[in-house]
Amino acid sequence: MDQTQKVVKVVIVEDNASLAEIYKIRLELLGYTCFAAYDGEVALKLIEQELPSLVLLDLMVPKIAGDQILATMRASEWGKNIKVLIISNLNEAEAPAGLRERGIEGYAVKANLSNDQLDRLVDTILKPANQMEAVDLEATTETRVVHTPLSELNTTPAAPIDLVITRVLQAPVSRVWAAWTDPTNISVWWGPAGYNCPQANCNVYEGGLSVIGLQSASSVDAPITYGSLAYTIIEANQRLEFIHNVCDANGKKLDPASLGLPATFPQSQRHEIVFKSIAIDTTELTVIEHGWPTEAMRESSRLGLEQCLDKLQNFIASQQV
């Protein structure tokens, strides 16, 4: 937007920081001024302070749930006319009652909403009223279709897509291999920025199972979430393949939805880690995550994985003699 245009503000209420950052980056590229809140208390203060044109509202956020945020807004002078688009892991039939009666522009399910569709929805909602009516989201029994006066966007989940990231590390391949297989090493770098690894119980052999914990660095009392790695192929200094699941501390597989993840979050997801020595002290590392159901999920994972690999790179650099 140039200086003659009105600043149009969007507040993103989403407890998944990586996903919130994806929304923020994309909408800022469209010219919107964006703010993010990761819990309900902060969200209400931010909305009252900024008085945005639109709130992207997740229902399952800490401290104050999304439906209560909406109710508070509609009961206030400052929030009664702010546009709200619900973006949730829940199908609308599973959501708290009364959302549409309180006034929302639409309801979208995260797992079925691509980044491009989100861009178009926000643009549609924020166009002047004399150019575009408010968007309405409806779900058919077989597919989800976003209805606008100009188009229909079929949001049936696309074929699964893969995430591939390659890094060149200044270390011999044996050292990079050890970083992925030694629990002492894993506990140093595993997890995205702002997270620690308080547990790494590793059994790195074909048929073995590793259970690795993640905890927010914000508090020693933060809950620990766990992931399991069931190894299917191990070729020393060359390749690791494993099946990843969310799990409990003992490695028992859990339903992702029970942890607040989308219902379509992949279970038994195949991962490949490829190690290639390209010089005596240089290794090319490629990480492949197979079968993400949506672009949004893949890009959220990309942000976290890039941060993990940054930490890995720093850890390896710290080992240099």
Same domain for 189 and 117: no
Residue whose tokens read 């800022």: 28
Q: From its phi and psi, is residue 171 left (phi > 0), alpha (psi between -120 and 50) or beta?
A: beta
Domain termination residue (choose one: 117, 138, 154): 154
pLDDT tens, residue by residue, 143-173:
333 433 333 344 444 567 899 999 999 999 9
Amino acid 91: pLDDT: 84
- Range scoring the smallest mean pLDDT among 94-103, 154-163, 224-233, 248-257: 154-163
Query: What is the rounded CA–CA span in Å between residue 188 and residue 63?
Result: 30
Domain termination residue (choose one: 154, 178, 206): 154
Residue 2 has pLDDT above 70, yes or no: no
The reply to whether 58 falls in a domain is: yes
CATH code: domain of residue 35: 3.40.50.2300
CATH code: domain of residue 313: 3.30.530.20
Q: What is the overall mean pLDDT for the chain?
A: 85
Amino acid 220: pLDDT: 83
19 or 74: which leads in pLDDT:
74
The reply to whether 1 falls in a domain is: no
Amino acid 282: pLDDT: 96
Query: Residue 103 class from Cβ within 10 Å (0-12 exposed, 13-18 middle, 19+ buried)?
Result: middle
Residue 156: CB atoms within 10 A of its CB come to 10
- Range scoring the smallest mean pLDDT among 4-18, 59-73, 127-141, 262-276: 127-141
Query: What is the rounded CA–CA span in Å between residue 146 and residue 203?
Result: 46
Same domain for 306 and 234: yes
152 or 116: which leads in pLDDT:
116
The reply to whether 132 falls in a domain is: yes
19 or 188: which leads in pLDDT:
188
Amino acid 136: pLDDT: 41
Domain termination residue (choose one: 99, 120, 154): 154
167 or 142: which leads in pLDDT:
167
54 or 96: which leads in pLDDT:
54
**Contacts of residue 131, Cβ cutoff 8 Å, sequence gap at least 6:** none
Q: Is 228 helix (H, G, I), strand (E, B) or coil?
A: strand
What domain range is 261 assigned to? 161-318
pLDDT tens, residue by residue, 76-92:
999 999 999 999 988 88
Query: What is the rounded CA–CA span in Å between residue 56 and residue 105?
Result: 10
What letter represents residue 179's amino acid? Answer: A
Same domain for 177 and 138: no
Structure tokens at 55: 């709130």
Domain count, the chain: 2
